[in-house]
Amino acid sequence: MARLRNFSLTWAALIILLLSGSLEGCGHISVSAPIVRLGDPITASCIITQKCSHLDPESQILWRLGADLQPGGRQQHLSDGTQESTITLPHLNHTRAFLSCCLNWSNTVQILDQVELQAGYPPAVPRNLSCLMNLTTNSLNCQWEPGPETHLPTNITLKSFKSRANCQTQEDSIRDCVPKDGQSHCSIPRRHLLLYQNMVIWVQAENALGTSMSLQLCLSPMDVVKLEPPMLRTLDPNPEAPPPEPGCLHLCWEPWKPGLFINQKCELRHKPQRGDASWALVGPLPSEAFQYELCGILPATTYTLQIRCIRWPLPGLWSNWSPNLELRTTERAPTVRLDIWWRQRQLDPRTVQLFWKPVPLEEDSGQIQGYLVSWRPSGQAAAILPLCNTTELSCTFHLPSEAQEVTLEAYNSAGTSLPSPVAFSESRGPALTRLHAMSRDPHSLWVGWELPSPQPQGYVIEWGPGPSSTSNSNKTWRMEQSGSITGFLLKENIRPFQLYEITVTPLYQDAMGPSQHVYAYSQERGPSRAPELRLNHIGKTWAQLEWVPEPPELGKSPLTHYTIFWTNAQNQFFSAILNASSSGFVLHGLKPASLYHVHLMATSKAGAVNSTVLNLMTLTPEGSELHILLGLFGLLLLLTCLCGTVWLCCSPNRKNPLWPNVPDPAHSSLGSWVPTTMEEEAFQLPSLGTPPITKLTVLEEEKKQPVPWEYHNSSETCGLPTLVQPYVLQRDPRAASTQPQSQSGTSDQVSSRPRADMSSRNQEAKAGGSLEARIKTSLGNIARPYLYKK
């Protein structure tokens, strides 16, 4: 089986190769243009020839750009039996790709023919063409900017020809110069040049999409010659020549040997190494001596120098700058004015502390290496005795008893400054008045005064930390030469939250006035803490608070006021503002048995701070007070009830709804229910006749009980019967009543019967007698509503 399978695979591969080979030459592609601008459309057609007879006439022709199938092919059959498929690619976005004409045969895509397509841009115009003549290589070097990438093979050529009459005519052509791939410069050898004859030079770029040329350059090779820079160095010292002046340098240079036959000029540039200075240009330099003395620069300063040259007076190009040369200028004696101030110690007046400040008199005042304090004894003109030699700006020394004046000088290696005499005179001038100081910002203080009479010639202003600092080294001082000023803004060594002592001393001719001082802050701190609240007394609706004010502190602004805040359990907020001199406060309008939170805020111009919170509870009312309140409340309630009762009783329209009237049977209209003739009728015992009396009940008389709803009148009395009358049932209960009922009488008829008549009948009933009489009497006195006939 394995052999059979291998044989089948081999045979299939052979068939495919034979068929593929048979498809070669069946198709041919033709395109509108194999090279187009990037993004432009391109049209291609593929024709299948007649010799491909084994192909299916209805076979579909496919197009493929690279590895992607392209839709949109239009296929047709021509009259000569060939098949043609045409496709248009709207945008060719590939710089290089293969377009293939394929056939879908035996479920595989077979390539009939393919063509290579390229897309790019025409060459841009080269710009900024420039050339220079290099005498070292003896060639004319030209360079340019080629422009953007074309994505197509592009030929760059540097073209030139010899010319006369301002490059208007062409004479002999010069061999083209072709740069290497990717380069934008080219050199024309000296053998193709005439150094003093004009020539025309331009750059030409060419590819399949077009050709471009740069602007033509007309020049003579020697007019664009570029020299090499000379070698700059310092001039060798000459023992016979004087040393250079301070702020001067002696320079020389060695020109470039190939350029010795060319007239040229040079220029120099220099800058100090310290700081961020820029170059200063000096030129033109003399071309014959090859040396130069540079002056007007800072003494005792290291400089960096460079030199370059150009062909002159004929046209040429500047050479590059030479390598750096570093030289240091010589020093000069200090040219400064020394502002001097001094103090004497209180315990030892002959011990003097001298202070000074150098003030430059020129921009270049010379570098100072030290200071010398000396004095000259009287009678010895040449003898100068040093008292102090220092590099600091102060010196303490013991003044000899016979010395009334000393001299201060600044010196360096070049010499000394002019001597400044210091005379130790006593204070004989008038003092300043109304010296004051105030802050302008956290880093400055303004000190002012009033002019004394006579007006001083100047002032010495000293400032430093307050009385806590006794060291004079921490103090700063300044001398003002103008005596007409009335104030000065101190900006040096001023920090916030620091107490400064400011001293001003007026200076007069050969004298000075007494010193005046004042203390000030540039910025003060706010209070560090607030006083603690204490509860002194408390009541049911008030609380007395007190506190101990904090003592004043240096560097802190004084308090301006207090603010006390208190809140209750319902977060209701209250506050009061108090004077800074207050030490207590009484809270009024509090609620009894309530909790309050109280705190104090201390405020100054520099800020505010809060104290801790004090929690307090007001008192509850006492027991006796509660009893009094309850009694008053009960009395008020009782009075209210009494008034309500009287109002209800006295108001008829309010009585009936509360106590409704109960009907009085004796006075009702039912009293006429039994006819009046019944009193005269004889009541016979039902011995023989019908209907028989079925039931007879005789009740004993009861005492009449008064009822609360009886109504008594002055003329008559109405009430219920004094006896509960017997209940009489006549006839058969089942028989219907045939006796006509009388119309209901009014209550006036019932009530008009005299009570005496009723009483007499009752007495007869009590007296006994026959049963019939007793029954009649009872029937006469019985209340009508209690007698029912059925």
Task: Quote the pLDDT of residue 595.
Answer: 93
Least confident of 339-353, 431-445, 600-614, 653-667: 653-667
Residue 666 near residue 688 (C-beta atoms within 8 A): no
Is the bond leading into 754 cis (omega within 30 degrees of zero)? no
DSSP state of 556: B
Q: Which helix (H) or strand (E) holds 627?
A: helix 623-650
Q: What is the DSSP string of 566-624?
A: EEETT--EEEEEEETT--EEEE-SPPTT-EEEEEEEEEETTEEEE---EEEEPPPPPHH
Considering only residues 32 and 736, tell me which one the structure prediction assigns the higher pLDDT.
Answer: 32
**Left (φ > 0), alpha (ψ -120 to 50) or beta: where does 720 sit?**
beta
Q: What superfamily does domain 231-328 belong to in CATH?
A: Immunoglobulins (2.60.40.10)
Q: What is the mean pLDDT of residues 648-658?
A: 64
**Strand partners for 174:** 160
User: In the prediction, which pLDDT does 656 show?
Assistant: 59
pLDDT of residue 279: 92
CATH class of residue range 338-407: mainly beta
| pLDDT tens digits along 22-41 | 555 677 888 888 888 888 89
- Of the pLDDT bands very low, low, confident and very high (cuts 50, 70, 90), residue 257 is confident
pLDDT at residue 359 is higher than 90: no
Looking at residue 204, its pLDDT comes to: 92
The whole-number pLDDT of residue 198 equals: 84
Beta strand pairing status for 405-412 and 415-416?
antiparallel
pLDDT higher at 467 or 750? 467
The pLDDT of 771-789, averaged and rounded, is 45
- Residue of 242, 295, 300 whose CA lies nearest to 268: 295
What average pLDDT does the segment 644-657 reach? 70
Cβ-contact 138, 224 below 8 angstroms: no
| CATH code at 127-226 | 2.60.40.10
What number is the average pLDDT over the span 58-63? 78
Would you say the CATH fold of 338-407 matches that of 127-226? yes
Q: Classify 433-521 by CATH class.
A: mainly beta
pLDDT of 211 strictly over 50: yes
3-state helix, strand, coil in the chain (%, to 5): 15, 40, 45
Least confident of 438-447, 494-503, 571-580, 690-699: 690-699
Q: Would you call 463 exposed, middle or buried from its count of C-beta atoms within 10 A (0-12, 13-18, 19+)?
A: buried
C-alpha distances (whole Å) from 372 to each of 40, 171, 392, 447, 747 are 90, 83, 10, 33, 151
Res 670: pLDDT:
55
Mean pLDDT across the stretch 644-661?
67
**Rounded Cα gap, residues 503 and 517, in angstroms:** 4
| Percent of the chain whose pLDDT exceeds 90 | 15
Q: How many helices and strands in the chain, by DSSP H and E?
A: 6, 49
Q: What is the mean pLDDT of residues 339-353?
A: 80
Q: 534-618: which CATH number, 3.40.50.2300, 2.30.30.60, 2.60.40.10, 1.10.287.70?
A: 2.60.40.10
How far is the CA of 45 from the CAs of 4, 55, 78, in angstroms?
A: 44, 19, 13
Q: What is the pLDDT of residue 672?
A: 56
Report the chain's mean pLDDT, rounded to a whole number: 77
Q: What is the pLDDT of residue 744?
A: 38
| pLDDT value of residue 719 | 41
Q: Where are the domains of the chain?
A: 22-120, 127-226, 231-328, 338-407, 433-521, 534-618
Q: What is the pLDDT of residue 602?
A: 93
**Cβ count within 10 A of residue 222:** 18
Question: What is the dihedral sign for C-alpha 67, 71, 72, 76?
Answer: positive
* 22-120 classified as CATH 2.60.40.10: yes
pLDDT score for 655: 54
Please tell me the predicted confidence (pLDDT) of residue 20: 44
